Amino acid sequence: MLRTRGLTREFGGLTAVDSVDFDLDPGELCSLIGPNGAGKTTFFDLLTGVLSPSAGTIELRRDGEWSDVTDASPHEAANLGLHRSYQITNVFPTSTVLENVRVAAQAAGNDSLRVWRNAGSFDSHIEEAHGILNRVGLKRKAGVTARNLSHGEKRQLEVAIALAGDPDVLLLDEPNAGVSSESVDEIIALIEDVATDHAVLLVEHNMEVVMNVSDRIVVLNQGAVIADDRPEGVRDDPAVQEAYLGGYEPGAGAAASDDAADPEGSVASESSGRSNTPEGEA
């Protein structure tokens, strides 16, 4: 339902996203992982029209038809059904939780492309917003001012706002960032729930979350896909171990990060191929 071919983004001499062929099927929950600076957020920015690609295509299927959305603006991408929960979102901090979701529902409903399917009144948007809050576990917080929510609740609100946009594909960039450990289970439950009726692409550093929720995991390293497999396959893939999991130290996190050209990473990508079948000792 979403596919990219040869998707590439360069920043000056740096190739942040390098010829990525990616497919997301309806109902699938796919995680995108990789070291800091691997290109995950840039890939999201390309999908949502925040950045335009240097090369390659992005296509989205709706109602059985593929359409090219390579050059869509963020607004157009959202209208076509790609919706993203940002690492830092456009939550209105001084509005109530309910109001935040109602406005998002109204914005989606008011769009000219969608009027025919969602010609909503004010009341119907409120009703819709209540339904969404119920779903994400914020029912009892409807009247609370958004800035007074806990971190975990803010993440839930972000997902609620994304859902109010009536997306086909939900893009979640680190929904657990800054969330206390007791809320992680709730976020996992929420991700699994929204995945029952949306395709989801998740960027997440918490490997426990990733291994638990994903149908499939795509690993990026220096902008390129080095593995694309079910969780067990990815976990046991030596190239992934070398590029990411092996060197992954929670807390020490950003080490390899933002100065992209890490020469060691390329060794891993060469040795890997795109193996779907890890061989030898795991």
- Interacting residues with ligand ATP (CB under 6 A): 11, 14, 16, 34, 36-42, 257-258, 260
Q: Could you tell which of ligand ATP, Mg ion, none binds residue 11, using a CB distance below 5 to 8 A set by kind? A: ligand ATP
Write out the two tokens for 265.
């990473």
Beta carbon of residue 149, minimum distance to Mg ion (angstroms, whole number): 23
Per the structure block, which two tokens stand in for 262?
């890490």
State the alpha helices, DSSP H only, in 115-206.
122-136, 151-164, 181-194
Residue type, 165: G
Rounded to a whole number of angstroms, the minimum distance from the CB of residue 233 to ligand ATP is 21
CA distance 280 to 70: 40
Sign of the four-CA dihedral 168, 188, 133, 103: negative
Nearest-approach distance from CB 260 to ligand ATP, in angstroms: 3
Q: Toward Mg ion, which CB reaches closer, 33 or 162?
A: 33
- Exposed e or buried b for every residue in 144-159, given b needs 16+ CB within 10 A? eebeebeebbbbbbbb
For ligand ATP, the closer of residues 166 and 174 by Cβ is: 174
**Smallest separation, CB 45 to Mg ion (Å):** 9
Taking CB under 5 A as the rule, which mask of x and - marks residues 30-49 in contact with Mg ion?
----------xx--------
Q: Quick one: 34 or 137, whose CB is closer to ligand ATP?
A: 34
CA neighbor of 177 nearest in space, from 206, 199, 148, 145:
206
Question: In this complex, which beta carbon is closest to ligand ATP, that of residue 30 or of residue 105?
Answer: 30
Task: Please report how close the Cβ of residue 40 comes to Mg ion at its closest, in angstroms.
Answer: 5
Phi, psi of 182 (to 5 degrees): -75, -20
Q: Which of Mg ion, ligand ATP, none has residue 260 at its interface (CB below 5 to 8 Å by kind)?
A: ligand ATP
Q: Which residues contact Mg ion (rule: CB under 5 A)?
A: 40-41
